[in-house]
């Protein structure tokens, strides 16, 4: 199980939201690039998860400056938020992203998803953010009636390399991830799944290790790291212990 530290950027700051609510924001660093570098120094391998919160609202990349700085520093990263056309996909990849995460666009424009997967094989992931099992879009501001598992099957068929599944009701709550729902989604597809939302302790890291047999091979951790519930190094050590 790989640990993926998360850095959410809004207004040029490193922040964290509770259940995607922009009115429940905590600023953890005034320098997101420095924060990424700190996480990367402890991680040493793998990837950093970047969320462009302004982009999620505006439908465009708002963090290109930060991405270019990370590219120059040699830090591997993936980016999600506001990526809704091929131009933005190409911009983010040119800025150094190892993966581009489509969310709203994957749901609203299946043709774009298919074209992006064909143009950039292995580099397109789909973020499925769900509230009570139904897909939510536009920075979690718009709920749909689409079943998350049905949607997962559709994006796999379109050629997505990975699914990043976030349980919105768990996110930022520090009460543990939604193991059952994530496992069910992972078992329904044949591409790897990243679990996100609710990680609060090393016991949660141990719990998600049990999902590896279902196809979950990465876990995104944000707020728990900022609140110093545990360190990146501790999470990596826990995640890699053999059962």
Break the chain into its structural domains and give their ranges. Answer: 2-239
What average pLDDT does the structure give for the chain? 91
Q: Answer with the residue of higher pLDDT: 152 or 58.
A: 152
User: Residue 74 has what DSSP assignment?
Assistant: T
pLDDT, residue 22, reads 65
CATH class, 2-239 region = alpha beta
| Residues acting as catalytic residues | 8, 129
Residue 26 CA to residue 64 CA, distance in Å, equals 22
Task: Express each pLDDT in 180-207 by its tens digit.
Answer: 999 999 999 999 999 998 899 999 999 9
pLDDT of residue 229 exceeding 70: yes
pLDDT, residue 167, reads 84
In the chain, how many H helices and how many E strands?
Answer: 11, 12
pLDDT of residue 174 exceeding 90: no
| Greatest alpha-carbon span in the chain | 44
Mean per-residue pLDDT, 49-73: 93
pLDDT, residue 243, reads 47
91, 67 contact by CB (below 8 A): no
């Amino acid at each position: 199980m790989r640990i993926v530290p998360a850095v959410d950027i809004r207004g040029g700051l490193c922040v964290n939201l509770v259940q995607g609510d922009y009115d429940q924001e905590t600023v953890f660093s005034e320098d997101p690039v420095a924060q990424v570098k700190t996480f990367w120094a402890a991680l040493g391998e793998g990837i950093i998860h970047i969320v462009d919160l302004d982009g999620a609202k505006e439908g465009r990349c708002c963090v290109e400056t930060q991405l270019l700085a990370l590219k120059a520093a040699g830090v591997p990263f993936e980016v999600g938020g506001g990526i809704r056309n091929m131009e933005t996909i190409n911009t983010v990849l040119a800025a150094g992203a190892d993966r581009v995460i489509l969310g709203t666009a994957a749901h609203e424009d299946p043709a774009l998803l298919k074209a992006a997967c064909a143009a950039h094989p292995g580099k397109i992931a789909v973020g499925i953010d769900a509230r009570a099992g139904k897909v939510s879009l536009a920075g979690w501001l718009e709920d749909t009636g689409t079943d998350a598992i049905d949607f997962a099957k559709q994006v796999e068929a379109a050629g997505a390399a990975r699914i990043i599944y976030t349980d919105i009701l768990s996110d930022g709550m520090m009460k543990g991830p939604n193991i059952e729902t994530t496992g069910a989604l992972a078992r329904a597809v044949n591409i790897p799944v990243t679990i996100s939302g609710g990680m609060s302790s090393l016991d949660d890291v141990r719990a998600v290790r049990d999902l590896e047999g279902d196809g979950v091979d990465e876990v995104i951790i944000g707020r728990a790291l900022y609140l110093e519930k545990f360190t990146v190094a501790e999470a990596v050590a826990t995640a890699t212990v053999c059962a």
